[in-house]
Structure 1
Amino acid sequence: MGKRKKSSRKPTGPRRKEPLETAFTCLFCHHDKSVTVRMDRKEGIAQLFCKVCDQRYQSKANHLTEPIDIYSEWIDAADAAENQAATTARRPAASSSRSHPSAVFGSDDE
């Protein structure tokens, strides 16, 4: 039996935790890092707002919620609202207010 080769892997130890983003790009005005999230975990509320165009969004939050989660919810809610508006705009009316042309089969002059 031969000897085991030494591994070139780094020693396993505590990993450094990368901080998550806290400033985001606005969906409406497209300014970078203009959207921030305020979290009130005690009250269970998270508020997102844009410093430039003053767009706002509010959602429920718990002890596991992060600002990126609220930003993602905002994106989903904006997409859903846009899809709903597009659906109602394309939906045809149930009835028409136009009168139907009356059919003329013959005239009284004949």
Structure 2
Amino acid sequence: MGKRKKSSRKPAGPRRKDPLETNFTCLFCHHDKSVSVRIDRKEGVAQLFCKICDQRYQSKANHLTEPIDIYSEWIDAADAAEREASSTRRPVASSSRPARAPSVASDED
């Protein structure tokens, strides 16, 4: 058996952590990076707000909560509110008469 070749890999060291986003796109006004998230870990509260349209959302936070978590919760809460609003709306009144079939002109004369 021969000697092992030296690996060209770099030695394992501390990995560089890329910071997570803290500014996001607003669901309501669609402006990029207009939504900011602030987390107060002592109080256990996270606040999200849009600088453009002033939409706000507040949620509980713990020591593991990140801004992307609050943004995801906001999206879920907005979807749930939209589904609830659409299910509680009264259906539009419709006529009891069936719709008339469109008339088709024939080429026969």
Counterpart residue identity of residue 65, structure 1: T
Residue 4 of structure 1 is matched in structure 2 by 4
- Which residue of 2 is the match for residue 17 of structure 1? 17
Counterpart for residue 68 of structure 1: 68
Counterpart residue number, 1:48: 48
TM-score, normalized by length of structure 1?
0.77
- Matches of 1:89 and 1:6, distance apart in 2: 70
Cα distance in 1 for residues equivalent to 2:13 and 2:52: 43
User: d(CA) in 2 for partners of 1:3 and 1:28?
Assistant: 64
Give the corresponding residue for 1:57. 57
* Letter matched to residue 51 of structure 1: K
Name the residue aligned to 1:84: 84
Separation in structure 1 between the aligned mates of residue 35 and residue 76 of structure 2, nearest angstrom? 16
Aligned residues: 92
Give the CA deviation at 1:81.
Answer: 1.1
Question: SS at the partner of 2:89?
Answer: helix
Q: Which runs of 5+ in 1 are unaligned?
A: 93-110
Structure index of larger Rg: 1
Per-residue displacement from partner, 1:19-65 (whole Å, max 9, x unpaired)? 01011100000001100011111111111000000000000001111
After TM superposition, the score normalised by the length of structure 2 is 0.77
In the TM superposition, structure 1's runs of 4+ consecutive aligned residues that sit over 4 Å from their partners are none
- Determine the C-alpha separation between the residues in 1 that align with 2:91 and 2:40: 41
Q: Distance in 1 between matches of 2:27 and 2:8?
A: 45
Q: Specify the SS of the correspondent of 1:10.
A: coil
RMSD: 1.6
2:96 alignment counterpart: none
Alpha-carbon distance in structure 1 between the residues aligned to 2:29 and 2:7: 51
Unaligned runs of 5+ in 2: 93-109
